[in-house]
Chain A
């Protein structure tokens, strides 16, 4: 049971990294629906580099770099070229899915390295994820940087007039979000599930995206949501812990996805929106065009 709980927290840690990155991105007004693609890239390239060089450090560095690069690409498309952000994000997802399927297939199989060390049975990165949530919350809510990011996400024209560079902030947020998604992917492939397989990320990027909507753009609530979904995911893998023999193991695997839909529906209801709906960044998804 303890092992189950620790595994759940580790799943939560990956959702948290990807989700916090996306959250910062969206607070700055840029929606990136391509998290899954960035995570696939971070996971696959990190996996290949670590497998060929034997160095975990290099794998993580490559994961972060490729994530940052894809974030930069998304920023270039959506901020500079002002392409529809959904189109660009979808593009990054399909790009990630297509390319990683091709380059990763030669490395299908386990990583075959000694597992990374743990602290009290948990990956040290779990504590990093929790600290990151605290830091991001503090920076966004209490510092002038955070104010700049929020103002760009809420009212870019006002921010622009007051001397904040909308372009620079949006690039910074999107690259930061990409780097974290790439790191989350690398962590998935190098620690949580170190076996490369066709499309082995199984929609975690999309769940992370849903978590951001669910968190109402609050990093602390995001951490809570991540723990909930981490637990659900582990439960769907080990249903015998809760209700042995009720459904087949395949049906259990659908549960986290069904719950994601239910949660999205709940937060989309009028009842919910009228109470807590004000948190959505006003300029989310809209390119900023200087008048």
Chain B
């Protein structure tokens, strides 16, 4: 294409330097947030004022900051559940379902210890909490593992399968917490029973201790991909399953492993959100609205380009935007779901920016 004497060519990139990749991600974010400003304009609010309110509440109000950090933990885990399979070229959009099953298995442990009978049952957190976390991770892993196994064994499309598993898990939760299901709150309001006070997760400055697990995982996943043979095999499958097979990688096993890992991390996210965040402590009636927020993990993962450490700042920003957005929603009289709209706008901008990761524009004199 030529334009006033200049020639514009599109050239496929052979490699993309890390700093350039980071720059494009940053640019995508800025453009996305700019365009999202129109949502505020349509709602008769000034974008500057809206963003100021959002950031002030999310990061400078002590209450808001605690919520943002809790949301940050949740989003980071959802992102890790997405990026581990993504590095093998496989799409786990089943974080939601793995989250639901993880919540059920985690609360299953509480149930077995008799925690449903009353919120005041004295139970030992030293015994029950590790079991809860383990059960949540195991439940998530098994649910994710279904998709991974099917993908590895018969190359069944993992996008459709994980989405179907999301809906199956959604209804299983309803079955369990509504209409006299075994986890139904004795109060009978169609929600899960309340976690006994004795099992509330320890807090660090008002933030659940799961933040330490998240930071540990960040370095763990980073090391996994940079230093270990398993990480190498996962990346090899991501670059091309055929070549990986010739290099001696057991591709079906890797498919299973990445989904088990991703599912386990989603299960941990379930423990965090449904049993560790102050003010929740149960599988609430509107559990699907939090479950669907897990899709933010896809966006974080794509912006961070599958990098576990780069995920941290991105998830922190989104956690703050999501919490601040809910706050601004009330204050500026916006409709429900500002954070979902933000998710949508960012996602589509991000897709457009994918172009720059793969191609380069060269402008010179014709």
Q: Which residues of B contact A94 (CB under 8 A)?
A: 295, 298-299, 343-344, 347-348
A251 touches B175 (CB 8 A): yes
Mask of B151-166 contacts with A, CB within 8 angstroms, 1/0: 0001111011101111
Per a CB cutoff under 8 Å, which of A90, A97, A203, A264 touches B167? A203
Who on chain A is nearest to B354 by CB?
A83
Verify if B178 is at the interface (C-beta below 8 Å from A): yes
A188 at the interface (CB under 8 A from B): no
Q: Which residues of A contact B91 (CB under 8 A)?
A: 86, 90
Q: B359 in the interface, Cβ–Cβ < 8 Å?
A: yes
- Interface membership of A198, Cβ < 8 A: yes
> How far does the Cβ of A43 sit from chain B's closest Cβ, in whole Å?
15
**Is the CB–CB distance between B157 and A264 below 8 Å?**
yes
Which residues of chain B in 314-365 are interfacial with respect to chain A, using CB atoms and an 8 Å cutoff? 335-338, 340-345, 347-348, 350-352, 354-355, 358-359
CB distance from A232 to the nearest CB of B (A): 13
Q: CB-CB < 8 A to B150: which residues of A?
A: 261, 264-265, 268
A-side contacts of B164, CB under 8 Å? 203, 206, 210, 257-258, 260-261
Evaluate contact between B351 and A87: CB separation under 8 angstroms.
yes
- Give the segment of A51-59, A102-110, A163-171, A177-185 that binds chain B: A102-110
How far in angstroms is the closest Cβ of chain A from B61? 24
A124 within 8 A of partner (CB): no
- Quick one: CB contact mask for A232-274 with B, threshold 8 Å, 1 for yes? 0000000000000000111101100110110011001110000
Are B335 and A251 in contact, CB atoms less than 8 angstroms apart? no
Quick one: closest A residue to B174, CB to CB?
A: A250
B302 contacts the other chain (CB 8 A)? yes
Number of interface residues of A (CB under 8 A): 49
Chain B residues lying within 8 Å of A90, measured Cβ to Cβ, are: 91, 93, 159, 298, 347, 351
Q: Mark out the residues of chain A between 192 and 230 whose CB falls within 8 Å of any chain B CB in the assembled complex.
A: 198-199, 202-203, 206, 209-210, 213
Q: Are B351 and A83 in contact (CB under 8 A)?
A: yes
In the bound complex, do residue A105 and residue B344 qualify as a contact, i.e. CB atoms below 8 Å apart?
A: no
Taking the nearest CB of chain A, how far is it from the CB of B304, in angstroms?
14
Q: State whether A33 touches B159 (Cβ < 8 A).
A: yes
- In angstroms, Cα B53 to Cα A250, docked, is 41
Task: Among A87, A264, A270, point to the contact of B156 (Cβ < 8 A).
Answer: A264
Contact A253 B171 (CB under 8 A): yes
Q: Determine whether the beta carbon of B335 is less than 8 Å from that of A199.
A: no
The complex places the Cα of A269 from the Cα of B161 at a distance, in Å, of: 15
**Max chain A C-beta neighbours (<10 A), residue from B159, B174, B338:** B159
Q: For A77, what are the chain B residues with a Cβ–Cβ distance below 8 Å? A: 351-352, 354-355
Q: Give Cα distance in the complex from A65 to B158, angstroms.
A: 30
Determine if B344 and A99 form an interchain contact, defined as CB atoms under 8 angstroms apart: yes
Complex interface: chain A residues within 8 A of B161 (CB): 261, 264
Q: How far is the CA of A248 from the CA of B355 in the complex (A)?
A: 48
Contact yes or no, B337 A101, CB < 8 A: yes
Q: Among the interface residues B154, B156, B343, B348, which one has the most CB atoms of the partner chain A within 10 A? A: B348
Q: Within the complex, which residue of B160, B168, B355 is in contact with A254, where a contact is CB–CB below 8 Å?
A: B168
Q: Which residues of B contact A268 (CB under 8 A)?
A: 150, 154-157
- Find residues 186-209 in chain B having any chain A CB closer than 8 Å to their own CB: none
- For B163, list chain A residues within 8 Å (CB): 36, 203, 206
Tell me the complex Cα distance, A96–B347, Å.
10
Closest to B155 in A: A268
Contact among B155, B338, B354 with A102 in the assembled complex (CB-CB below 8 Å)? B338
A16 at the interface (CB under 8 A from B): no
**Chain A contacts of B39 at CB under 8 A?**
102
A residues 267-286 in Cβ contact with B at 8 Å:
268-270
B5 CB → nearest A CB, Å:
24
A53 to B79, CA, bound (A): 42
Provide the residues of chain A in CB contact with B63, threshold 8 Å.
none
Bound Cα distance A130, B352 (Å): 36
Which of B159, B167, B175, B341 touches A248 (beta carbons < 8 Å)? B175
- Since A95-B347, A253-B174, A268-B154 are in contact, a sample of 15 more A-B pairs with Cβ atoms closer than 8 Å, ordered by chain A residue number, is A77-B352, A77-B355, A81-B352, A83-B354, A84-B354, A96-B344, A99-B340, A101-B341, A103-B335, A206-B160, A210-B160, A250-B174, A254-B168, A265-B156, A268-B156
The 10 closest A-B pairs by CB, nearest first: A98-B344, A91-B351, A102-B341, A250-B175, A268-B154, A81-B355, A105-B336, A94-B347, A257-B164, A101-B340
The 28 listed contacts between A and B (C-beta, < 8 Å) are A73-B348, A91-B350, A94-B295, A94-B298, A95-B345, A97-B292, A98-B340, A98-B341, A101-B337, A101-B340, A102-B39, A102-B340, A102-B341, A105-B335, A198-B288, A198-B289, A203-B163, A203-B164, A203-B167, A206-B159, A248-B179, A250-B179, A251-B172, A257-B164, A260-B164, A261-B164, A268-B154, A268-B156
- B residues apposed to A, CB below 8 Å: 12, 39, 91, 93, 150, 154-157, 159-161, 163-168, 171-172, 174-175, 178-179, 181, 288-289, 292, 295, 298-299, 302, 335-338, 340-345, 347-348, 350-352, 354-355, 358-359
